[in-house]
Structure 1
Amino acid sequence: MNKNKLLRMDNIGIVVESLDNAIAFFEEIGLHLEGRMIVEGEWAGRVTGLGSQKAEIAMMVTPDGHSRLELSQFHTPSVIADHREAPVNALGYLRAMFTVEDIDEMVARLMKHGAQLVGEVVQFEDSYRLCYIRGTEGLLIGLAEEIGGKEV
């Protein structure tokens, strides 16, 4: 029997309060807006299990075109839970990690957009400099700078 094979990961989704603010923040990191649209109707509710829903989504893509982040702002139904301020060891908590060229420069730019360091920028062996930040709306974002010839 042949096993079904994974083809690719299409995207990671994050629900936000302000789509405009989230788009601006992720553009500052270096992602590009690929598209923006309203998703609504019975078919969408059948996929998500929410019934009738209306959400505006924005698809952000990395410069290499291989990774995407789907940002969603729900109009209906109302958001019922908020996990943004949960600590990094909370079950099911999500963070996105981005490799950047200059972590210090990126952190400084993002702080101008309200980002805050969670801990410190640290060095892992002779391979990476790493940090976590709380970005727009308190979203947890990881940043990594390659310093030893390997990618994260």
Structure 2
Amino acid sequence: MAKNKLLRMDNIGIVVESLDDAISFFSEIGLRLEGRAKIEGEWAGRVTGLGSQHVEIAMMVTPDGHSRLELSRFLTPPVISDHRTAPVNALGYLRAMFTVEDIDELVARLIKRGAQLVGEVVRYENSYKLCYIRGTEGLLIGLAEELGNK
């Protein structure tokens, strides 16, 4: 019997309180809103195990079109847990990492919009500049700038 092969990773999902704020934040990083929809009905609850649910989603896509971020706002059932203030060494979902062209410029822009630098922007050898940022709703985001021959 042939082993099933992985084809791709479609998206990462993040539950938020405000889709508009999250869309604005991720647009500032450089993702594009691909679409917005309401998902409800018995079929959706069978997928998530939540039963009857009503969720508004927004799909954000990276400029290369290969990676997506699904932002979800649950109308019903209500959100029952909040991991946004968990420290970097907490178990479970941690962060999404984005490669950017100019990390210092983007960090300055995001801080003006209320984001907070978690530690500092650091250089890893001659390969990357890296940092973690807490953006809208305290979401933890990693940023990386490839240095190459800089």
TM > 0.5: yes
CA contact (8 A) 1:86 1:93 kept: no
TM-score by length of 1: 0.96
Following superposition, the deviation at residue 136 of structure 1 comes to 0.5
CA contact (8 A) 1:34 1:58 kept: yes
Provide the C-alpha distance between the structure 1 equivalents of 2:93 and 2:44, rounded to a whole number of angstroms: 24
Provide the C-alpha distance between the structure 1 equivalents of 2:40 and 2:19, rounded to a whole number of angstroms: 16
CA contact (8 A) 1:121 1:130 kept: yes
Following superposition, the deviation at residue 113 of structure 1 comes to 1.6
Match of 1:58 in 2: 58
AA aligned to 1:148 is: G
Per-residue CA deviations over 1:94-114 (Å, capped at 9, x if unaligned) read 200000000000001111221
Match of 1:136 in 2: 136
CA contact (8 A) 1:120 1:131 kept: yes
Match of 1:20 in 2: 20
AA aligned to 1:39 is: I
Unaligned runs of 5+ in 2: none
Following superposition, the deviation at residue 93 of structure 1 comes to 2.8
AA aligned to 2:58 is: A
Match of 1:70 in 2: 70
Provide the C-alpha distance between the structure 2 equivalents of 1:93 and 1:71, rounded to a whole number of angstroms: 14
AA aligned to 1:66 is: H
Q: Secondary structure at the match of 1:2?
A: coil
Q: Secondary structure at the match of 2:119?
A: coil
Following superposition, the deviation at residue 31 of structure 1 comes to 0.2
Percent identity over the alignment is: 84
CA contact (8 A) 1:84 1:139 kept: yes
What's the RMSD between the two structures over aligned residues? 0.7
Match of 1:120 in 2: 120
AA aligned to 2:20 is: D
Provide the C-alpha distance between the structure 2 equivalents of 1:128 and 1:109, rounded to a whole number of angstroms: 20
CA contact (8 A) 1:30 1:62 kept: yes
Following superposition, the deviation at residue 56 of structure 1 comes to 0.2
Count of residue pairs brought into register by the alignment: 149
Match of 1:83 in 2: 83
Provide the C-alpha distance between the structure 2 equivalents of 1:50 and 1:113, rounded to a whole number of angstroms: 34
1:93 is the counterpart of 2:93? yes
